[in-house]
Amino acid sequence: MASRALTGHVAAADALSPRAAFARLPRLTAPLVRYAAADPWEEDTARLPRALAAHRRRMRAFAEAELAPRAAAADLAPHPAVGALAPGLDGLLVAAGRAGLLSDLLPRPLGAASPALIRHGLALPQALKVEELAAVDGGLMLLVSAHALGVAPVLLGGDLGQLRRVLLPAFRASERGAPHVFAYAITEPAAGSDVEDGHGAASYRPGVVARRAPGGWRLTGTKCFISGGDIASTVVVFAALDGEGMASWTAFLVPRGAPGFHVVRTEHKLGMRASGAAELRLDEVYVPDADVVGGPRQGWALNRATLNLSRIPVGAMGVGFARAATAAAEDFACRFRLAGRPLVDYQEVQLALAEMHARTLAARAMVWAAARQPQARQAEAAAVKFHATDTARAVCELAMDLLGNHAVLHAERVERALRDARLTQIFEGTNQINRLAVIEDQQERLLARVATSAPIP
C-alpha cells in the first residue's frame, strides 16, 4: 500500500494538511482557495474560454492519437532520401490535413478554425496547438506546424487573387486528405541572423536574387535549413531584386514542380529529426508577377511581421518540451527506488520537481499573456521566444540530472526533449538575435532617454 505521506510532508488526512484545513473554511470563502488538482492540465483547460478549452482538448487528443504512436520510431528512423518521409509520416500529414491542422489560420468557411476560436486571435490557438504537439514530439510537431510559417506571409500580404488561387485550394486539398504544405525560405548559406535583423541586413549581399523577365521574375540562388522545404508543395522564397540590397526583398510563391527548383538535401541534425531542414537551389526559376506576395520590395516587412507572429508559438514549443521533461521526471521519480525508497520521497528530488514545475508554469504564463494580445509586439514576441526556449532547455537539463543513467535512454523521452528544445534556441533567430530584437524595439525610447539624461559624473 502507498505510504500516507512523502518525507517532509504531513498526510492528506492530517489536521494540518491543507486538504483537511480548507474543508473547515466557511462555504462562502472556501472556493477562494484550491488544493490538489486531480488533473492539473484539465483544470487549466477548464479555466479557458469555452472555444479555447475545446481546441486545447482537441489538439491533445490529436497529439495522443496521431503523434504518440509514431514519435519514437520517427526520431530513430534512418535519414530518409530527399523528398521522402520516414515510414508512417505521410499518414500523419494526411490526418493533420483532414483534422484541419493545415488550414486553421482562417475561420470557416475559408479555413478550418471555428469562428468562436478565431475570435481569440491567431496566436493563442496556435500556441495551444503547438504546446500539445511538442509535448508529445518535437519533430512531428515541426513537420505539422512549420507550415503555418509559410502561410503567414500570404495571409499578411497576399492579395485576394492569391488567396483564391493558392491558399484556399491548398487548404481544401489538405482537408480532403491530400496535404498541401507551405514552407518559408529566408535563410541563406551566408545569412541566418542577417535576414532577421536590420543591422546585419544593412550590409549583407543577398544570395538569392530575382531578375526581371517578361511578365515576372527569374530567381537564382540557394536557401538552406528550410523546415519542410523537402516536402512543401509551395515555398515562399524571399529574394532581393537584381543589383539591390535587402531593402528590396520580395516574397515569391514557388511551386514544388517549378522548372529550376531543386531540393538538394536535408540535414542530418541534432533534434526534430522527423522534420526535414532542406537546402533548396533555384536555377532561373520563373515566377509570374501574380505570384509576388504583397508586391515587389514588401518582403522585408512581411518577413519581420511573420517572425513577430511566429515567435510566440516557438515559445509554446519550449513550454511543450519543458512539460514533457517535467512529466518524464515525475514519472521516473515515482517508479525508481533508491535505497528502497521511491526517488520522489527524497526532498532534494522534490525541490527539483518543484523547480521544473514552476519554470514550466512561468513560461506558459508568459506565452499565453503575449498570445492574448491583439497585436504581436516585437519586444514581447522576441522575449517570449528566447525566455521560453531557454527555460525549456534548463528544465530538460534538470530532468536529465534527475534521471541519471536513465536520462540518456531514448525510451525515457528526456534526451529527445532536450535535443528538440536545443533547436528552438537557434531557429526563428538565435536567442541572441531575439535579445537584440527586444532592444531594437526599445531603441527610440532608450535614445530619447540618453539625449535627455544628465550624464552620471
Ligand X SMILES: Cc1cc2nc3c(=O)[nH]c(=O)nc-3n(C[C@H](O)[C@H](O)[C@H](O)COP(=O)(O)OP(=O)(O)OC[C@H]3O[C@@H](n4cnc5c(N)ncnc54)[C@H](O)[C@@H]3O)c2cc1C
Query: Where on the chain is the footprint of ligand X (CB under 6 A)?
Result: 146, 149, 184-187, 192-193, 196, 199-200, 225-227, 269, 272, 277, 423, 426-430, 432-433, 436
Round to whole Å and give the CA distance between 394 and 75.
22
| Nearer CB in complex with ligand X: 151/272 | 272
Please state the closest distance from residue 351 (CB atom) to ligand X, in A. 32
Q: What is the dihedral of CA 350, 351, 352, 356, to 10 degrees?
A: 100
Round to whole Å and give the CA distance between 174 and 430.
32
| Nearer CB in complex with ligand X: 191/343 | 191
Can you say whether the dihedral through the CA atoms of 246, 249, 254, 258 is positive or negative?
negative
N-to-C CA span, the chain:
70
Residues 6+ apart with CB under 8 A from 352: 329, 398, 401, 402
Round to whole Å and give the CA distance between 432 and 448.
24
| Nearer CB in complex with ligand X: 345/390 | 390
How far CA 396 is from CA of 97, 392, 393, 415, 432, in Å, comes to 31, 6, 5, 8, 20
Please state the closest distance from residue 325 (CB atom) to ligand X, in A. 19
Instruction: Supply the DSSP string of 207-240, one letter for each residue.
Output: SSEEEEETTEEEEEEEEEEEETTTT-SEEEEEEE
Please state the closest distance from residue 256 (CB atom) to ligand X, in A. 15
Please state the closest distance from residue 227 (CB atom) to ligand X, in A. 3
Round to whole Å and give the CA distance between 141 and 167.
21
Please state the closest distance from residue 105 (CB atom) to ligand X, in A. 16
Round to whole Å and give the CA distance between 149 and 84.
21
* Half-sphere exposure of residue 103: CA atoms within 13 angstroms, side-chain side: 29
Round to whole Å and give the CA distance between 76 and 56.
28
| Nearer CB in complex with ligand X: 317/433 | 433
Please state the closest distance from residue 255 (CB atom) to ligand X, in A. 17
| Nearer CB in complex with ligand X: 277/322 | 277
3 state DSSP class of 432: helix
| Nearer CB in complex with ligand X: 103/275 | 275
Please state the closest distance from residue 55 (CB atom) to ligand X, in A. 24
3 state DSSP class of 448: helix
| Nearer CB in complex with ligand X: 46/190 | 190
Please state the closest distance from residue 418 (CB atom) to ligand X, in A. 15
Q: Give me the residues paired with residue 282 across strands.
A: 221, 261
Q: Please identify the residue of the shown chain whose CB is closest to the bound ligand X.
A: 192
| Nearer CB in complex with ligand X: 3/432 | 432
Please state the closest distance from residue 353 (CB atom) to ligand X, in A. 30
Give the H/E segment covering residue 338. Answer: strand 337-338
Count of beta carbons in the 10 Å neighbourhood of residue 141 = 28
| Nearer CB in complex with ligand X: 59/143 | 143
